[in-house]
Amino acid sequence: MLILNNDDVRSVLTMDVAMRALEAAYAELARKDAVCRPRIDMQIPTRDPKKVYQWGTMEAVRYRVISQSA
């Protein structure tokens, strides 16, 4: 398993690359060539009222036709 932290990502992902990827993704969403599930955040209380478990997820899917059978 590979675990990346924010510094790892920052070292290889520039803002320009991120913005171009977002632009392409939103264009695909507009054409209905992709779908996106909004971010879901969940907070679960603990015995300590000052602490919670927090979990968040965000997913997107795109499709591209590779080949079609006759």
Domain boundaries, the chain: 6-62
Rounded Cα distance, 17 and 10, in Å: 11
Rounded Cα distance, 26 and 15, in Å: 16
Q: Region 16-36: what's the mean pLDDT?
A: 87
Predicted pLDDT at 46: 93
Place of tokens 């320009």: 16
0.85 exceeded by pTM: no
Q: Name beta bridge partners: 56.
A: 41
